[in-house]
Amino acid sequence: MIHAIWEFRVLPEYVAEFEVNYRPTGAWAQLFRRSPGYRGTELLRDQEDPLRFVTIDKWDDRVSYKAIKEEPEYAFLDARCEQLTTSERLIGIFEVLQPL
C-alpha cells in the first residue's frame, strides 16, 4: 500500500469550498473511487495555520495512483480546484511498511 501526501495553502475566501472538494467524501474522493485500487482519503488542517492543509490518499499501489491521473475528469477537477489555493505540493509517495 502507498500513501500520496499533498500539502496545500488555501486562499481564505475558499477554505469552505476547498474542504468540500478535498474531504473524504468530496469531489476528489468520488473520482478516485472509480479505481479499484483506491483505499481512502484523509484531510488534515494545521492547527497553527488554518490555511494549510494536507491530504493523504491511500492506494494499493503506484500503478493505481498513476492510472487515475489519466481519467479525463482528473484534469478538469484539477483546473477547477487550482483557483482555491496559492500553492500545492506533493510531499511524496510513501510506502506502508509491514511489521517484521
Instruction: Express each pLDDT in 55-82 by its tens digit.
Output: 999 999 999 999 999 999 999 999 999 9
For the domain made up of 2-95, the CATH class stated in words is alpha beta
Q: What is the pLDDT of residue 6?
A: 98
Cβ atoms 32, 68 nearer than 8 A: yes
Angle between helices 15-22 and 72-82 (to 10 degrees): 160
Q: Supply the pTM of this predicted model.
A: 0.93
What strands lie across the sheet with 52-59, from one edge to the other?
A: 38-45, 52-59, 2-10, 85-95
